[in-house]
């Protein structure tokens, strides 16, 4: 059953939402509904990390590493 809901939003937010709605060919009401469904969906329990992964977590924080660095590493490793 669909029920009407009134929302008060900033005019600029509404303008951008309508623009996005046209881009994705989906009514704003459907976008809002999809968001509420995602927002209220049951959360999946987090898997516990293995001890090794736990120790590695955050070890690259602040590192300037990107995909090209990884590709270079693979080329050097397998050449």
For residue 25, tell me if it sits in a domain. Answer: yes
The number of folded domains in the chain is: 1
Whether 62 is in a domain gets the answer no
- Most distant CA pair in the chain, distance: 63
pLDDT in tens, 37-78: 999 999 888 888 899 998 998 888 888 888 899 899 999 999
Residue 18 is predicted with a pLDDT of: 97
Tell me, yes or no, whether 56 lies in a domain.
Answer: no
**70, part of any domain:** no
pLDDT at 44: 85
14 versus 48: the higher-pLDDT residue is 14
Does residue 30 lie within any of the structural domains? yes
Range of the domain at 27: 11-40
Question: What mean pLDDT comes out for the span 24-41?
Answer: 96
Report the predicted TM-score, pTM, of the whole model to 2 decimal places: 0.55
Q: Is residue 22, in this structure, part of any structural domain at all?
A: yes
């Amino acid at each position: 059953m669909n029920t009407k809901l009134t929302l008060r939003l900033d005019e600029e937010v509404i303008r951008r939402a309508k623009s996005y709605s046209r881009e994705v060919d989906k009514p704003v009401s459907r976008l809002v509904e999809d968001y509420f469904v995602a927002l209220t969906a049951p959360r999946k329990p987090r898997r516990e990390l293995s001890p090794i992964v736990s120790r590695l977590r955050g070890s690259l924080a602040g590192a300037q590493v990107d995909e090209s660095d990884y590709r270079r590493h693979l080329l050097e490793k397998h050449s």
